[in-house]
């Protein structure tokens, strides 16, 4: 078969790897100038490693990444440090990454600690999170975990990730998946995620895959004699199948022959974008890696991540690297602000992490924006997810909105890409 894949990210490339390995002809079209999608990285001239544009890490439970790395012969390049995460309480930050930390957290009573631990254990060992999708996290968590742990920890997280207008409707299955899959040890690849994706792209090319960068796809239609016509920058090309790893809305635009019911299903899926600023400093700001920040505490972003408390600054020419990021509607003002404007908005908040912080510590900045970054799952969300096999014969969709109940991430992107490739091959 001749197969087109739209998108050279963590879904499209594994699909291309498996299809080409089975002897099929594969062409991957990527609108950007590098492979990687949302997991792509960049590198300053004096760095040895690349850095992800949007903060990423793996977990020790990410079996699909590990299997793919085994297939590529690079499993030994995955490393799993254990950085420290912190929570904000009454103007101070407290490490919160182990039962010992929960017990000593000043915001919890003994009853809070017990309920927090028991409910967390229940969710971690509960086998099928989709059974929980009829509940909202906002109603279930305070009832069973307790009002105080919910108000201090999980409600701010839900508001931060999904917004005031959505958080009350987010279902419990999403929260279950967050507890189920995550581990204290976080993983990355030697050289950064871009190095891993470049390794995967090279392995695809070695199997005969064509990867065409700077090649956006405008339109996919059915050919009257079977197969599909894909409108590429080089002109129309005929394929037997096409796997789109785009957002659902992008597929709705580029495939005009989709039936109205399926298109409406695509357009009904809600998601948020991401705005992330990367800032390098000439010295360390904090001792912790990850800070979840309540919206009502007046921080101008959801998360501050000091990446070089996870991966040593020696890999980045001695720079100390911060991420300041948020999930937002694309109508939010941040999507229209320049890097200089956002830097001015963000810098004053860094004194909350270290009162000694001075503007002179800042070396460089980069700003990255993505309109499709965080699907929003409401009650009974499994009913809303479109089938990966679209009603147009030979056209497939593999998007992060379909990894539910799991949250978006490269591990589940890889799983989805390989599953769709198997379906294309009739397996």
pLDDT of res. 47: 98
Q: Which residue in this structure is represented by tokens 């994706």?
A: 197
Same domain, 59 and 196: yes
pLDDT of residue 378: 95
Task: Name the strands in the sheet holding 58-59, side by side, starting at the edge strand that comes first in the sequence.
Answer: 58-59, 186-189, 78-79
Asked if residue 198 and residue 214 are part of one domain, the reply reads yes
Residues pairing with 368 in the sheet? 276
Report the pLDDT value the prediction gives residue 219, as an integer from 0 to 100: 97
423 near 398, Cβ under 8 Å? no
pLDDT of residue 232: 95
Q: Indicate whether 216 and 136 sit together in one domain.
A: no
- From 131, 161, 180, give the residue that closes a domain: 180
Domain ranges, residue 283: 271-375
Residues 371 and 285 in one domain: yes
308 and 365, same domain (yes or no): yes
**Whether 264 and 385 share a structural domain:** yes
Within a domain: 92: no
Residue 106: inside a domain: yes
Number of domains in the chain: 3
Any domain includes 11: yes
- Same-domain status, 384 and 354: no
Residue 6 located in a structural domain: yes
Q: For residue 422, what pLDDT is reported?
A: 98
Q: Does residue 186 fall inside a structural domain? A: no
Question: Does any domain span residue 90?
Answer: no
Same domain, residue pair 227 and 348: no
Residues 277 and 365 in one domain: yes
pLDDT of residue 187: 95
Is 299 inside a domain boundary? yes
Cβ density class 223-240: b for 16+ within 10 Å, e for less: eeeebbbbebeeeebebb
Shared-domain flag, residues 280 and 367: yes
C-alpha distances (whole Å) from 311 to each of 245, 289, 314, 409 are: 30, 10, 8, 19
> Of the residues 149, 180, 211, which one is the last residue of a structural domain?
180
Where the chain has pLDDT below 50, the residues are: none
pLDDT at 137 (0 to 100): 96
* CA–CA distance, 210 with 143 (Å, rounded to integer): 53
pLDDT in tens, 46-91: 999 999 999 999 999 999 999 999 999 999 999 999 999 999 998 8
pLDDT digits (tens, 9 = 90+) for 119-138: 999 999 999 889 999 999 99
Is pTM, for the whole model, over 0.85? yes
260 and 409 inside one domain: yes
Q: Same domain, yes or no, for 348 and 300?
A: yes
CATH number for 55: 3.50.50.60
* Spatial CB neighbours of 178, under 8 Å, sequence gap ≥ 6: 407
Whether residue 284 is contained in a domain is answered as yes
Structure tokens at 357: 């912080």
């Amino acid at each position: 078969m001749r197969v087109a894949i739209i998108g050279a990210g963590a879904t499209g490339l594994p699909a291309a790897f498996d299809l080409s390995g089975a002897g099929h002809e594969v062409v991957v079209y990527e609108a950007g100038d590098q492979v990687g999608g949302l997991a792509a990285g960049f590198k300053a001239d004096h760095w040895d490693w690349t850095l992800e544009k949007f903060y990423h890490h793996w977990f020790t439970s990410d079996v699909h990444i590990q299997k793919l790395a085994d297939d590529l012969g690079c499993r030994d390049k995955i490393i799993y440090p254990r950085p420290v995460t912190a929570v904000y309480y009454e103007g101070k930050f407290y490490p919160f990454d182990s039962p010992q930390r929960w017990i000593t957290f000043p915001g919890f009573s003994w009853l809070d600690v017990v309920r927090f631990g028991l409910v967390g254990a229940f969710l971690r060992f509960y086998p099928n999170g989709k059974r929980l999708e009829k509940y909202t996290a906002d109603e279930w968590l305070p009832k069973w975990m307790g009002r105080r742990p919910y108000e201090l920890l999980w409600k701010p997280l839900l508001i931060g990730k999904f917004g005031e207008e959505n958080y009350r409707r987010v279902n419990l299955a999403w929260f279950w998946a967050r507890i189920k899959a995550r581990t204290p040890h976080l993983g990355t690849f030697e050289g950064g995620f871009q190095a891993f994706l470049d390794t995967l792209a090279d392995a695809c090319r070695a199997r005969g895959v064509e990867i065409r960068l700077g090649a956006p796809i405008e339109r996919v239609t059915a050919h009257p004699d079977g197969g599909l016509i894909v409108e590429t920058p080089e002109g129309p090309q005929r394929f037997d199948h096409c796997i789109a790893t785009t957002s659902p809305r992008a597929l709705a635009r580029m495939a005009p022959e989709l039936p109205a019911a399926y298109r409406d299903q695509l357009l009904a899926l809600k998601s948020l974008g991401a705005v992330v600023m990367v800032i390098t400093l000439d010295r360390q700001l904090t001792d912790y890696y990850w800070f979840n920040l309540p919206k009502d505490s007046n921080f101008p972003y959801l998360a501050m991540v000091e990446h070089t408390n996870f991966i040593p600054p020696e890999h980045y020419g001695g720079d100390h690297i911060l991420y300041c990021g948020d999930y937002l509607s694309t109508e939010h003002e941040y999507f229209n602000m320049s890097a200089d404007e956002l830097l001015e908005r963000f810098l004053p908040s860094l004194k909350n992490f270290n009162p000694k912080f001075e503007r002179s510590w800042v070396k460089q900045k980069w700003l990255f924006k993505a309109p499709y970054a965080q699907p929003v799952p409401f009650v009974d969300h499994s009913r809303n997810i479109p089938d990966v096999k679209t009603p147009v014969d030979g056209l497939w969709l593999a998007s992060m909105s379909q990894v539910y109940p799991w949250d978006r991430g490269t591990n589940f992107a890889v799983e989805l890409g390989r599953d769709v490739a198997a379906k294309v091959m009739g397996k």
